[in-house]
Structure 1
Amino acid sequence: MRALLQRVSSASVTIDGRTVSEIACGLLVLIGIESGDDCSDIEWLCNKIARMRIFEDEQGKMNASIADVSGEILVVSQFTLHASTRKGNRPSFLKAAPPQISEPLYESFCEKLSAEIGKPVGRGVFGADMKVALINDGPVTIWIDSRNRE
C-alpha cells in the first residue's frame, strides 16, 4: 500500500463540476492499493499517518501531528501510484489491485484513519473521474510505502 501525503492549506474533490468533498488545513492522502495488501498494511499505514509530525509547532518546527493541529484529512484512491515505468513509455499498472479487492480496502483504510484521528475523513469517490484541487502548504509532500517501511 502506497500513500502520498501532501500537507495542504485546502483541498477538494470535484466530479462533473460538483464538489463532493473538501477540507481546510490538513492532509490530502492519495492512496494506492497493491495486490497482496491486507489489513496489516492498513493498520501500519494509518498509524503512521496519524502520528506523522509534519505540521509546525509553536516554534515553527515540523513537530506536530494532524491531531495536534486539529487538521482534516481528505483521502483519494489512486491506482496510478503503482505505475511501473521500467520498460517503454507507457506505464504498467499490473501491481495495482483490481477494484473488487481495492475498493473494500480503500473503505477500510478510510474508516481506520478516521478512528485514528478521532474524526471523519473526507473521501473521493472510488473509481470516478475526479478533479482534485489543492494548495500544498510548504510544500510538504511525503511518500510512504507499507512494503518498504523506512
Structure 2
Amino acid sequence: MRALIQRVKRASVSVDDEKIADIGAGLLILVCAMQGDTRDRAEQLARKIAKLRIFKDDEGRMNRSLLDVGGAALVVSQFTLAADTSRGNRPGFSQAASPEDGDALYQHFAACLKADGLAVQTGQFGADMAVELINDGPVTIWMDQ
C-alpha cells in the first residue's frame, strides 16, 4: 500500500459541494492500494502511521505520534498515487489495485486505525472529492508498505 501523509491543523472532504468529513488537528492520509496488496499490508501501514512520531513534543521536536497527541485521521482513497510517469506525459495507473480490491483494502486500513483508538473520518471511495486542508509545518511524508 502507498500513502501520502500530511500533518494538518484541519482538513475536510466534500462530494458534490457537501462536506462529508472533517477533522481538526491530526493527519490527512491519502492512501492507494496497489496490485498484490493484502490486508496484512494495510494493517502494517496503519500501525506504522498511528505510531509515526511527527508531532512536536514540549521541546518543539517531532517526537510524538498521532496516538500520543490524540489527533484525528482523515483517510481519503487516491488511486492516482499509483501513477507511473516513466513513459510519456500521460501517467499510467496499471499498478493500482482493482476498484473492488482497492475499496476493500481502503476500508480495512481505516478500520485498523479506528481499532488502534484513533478518531477516523473517511472520504468516499471512487467519488470526485474536493479535499481542503491547512498543512501544519508543512509536514508531508510518502510511505510504501
Tell me the TM-score range normalised by the shorter chain: over 0.9
RMSD across aligned positions (CA): 0.7
| Deviating 4+ runs (over 4 angstroms) | none
Which residue matches 2:50?
50
Q: TM-score, normalised by structure 2?
A: 0.98
Post-superposition offset of 1:68: 1.2
Give the match for residue 122 of structure 1: 121
**Equivalent residue letter for 2:120:** V
Residue in structure 2 matched with residue 70 of structure 1 by the alignment:
70
Q: Deviations over 1:59-92 (max 9, x none)?
A: 1110000011110000000000000001000000
**Other-structure match for 2:87:** 87
- Structure 1: runs of 5+ lacking an equivalent: none
Partners in 2 of 1:104 and 1:131 — Cα distance? 22
Structure 2, unpaired ranges of 5+: none
**What amino acid maps onto 1:16 in structure 2?**
D
TM-score by length of 1: 0.95
SS of aligned partner of 1:88: coil
Counterpart Cα distance in 2 of 1:135 and 1:33:
25
Return the alpha-carbon distance in structure 1 between the equivalents of residues 107 and 133 of structure 2: 22
Partner of 2:32: 32
Write the distance in 2 (CA, Å) between the matches of 1:119 and 1:59: 24
Alignment partner of 1:3: what SS? strand
Shift of 1:120: 3.5
Partner SS, residue 41 of structure 1: helix
Give the % identical residues.
53
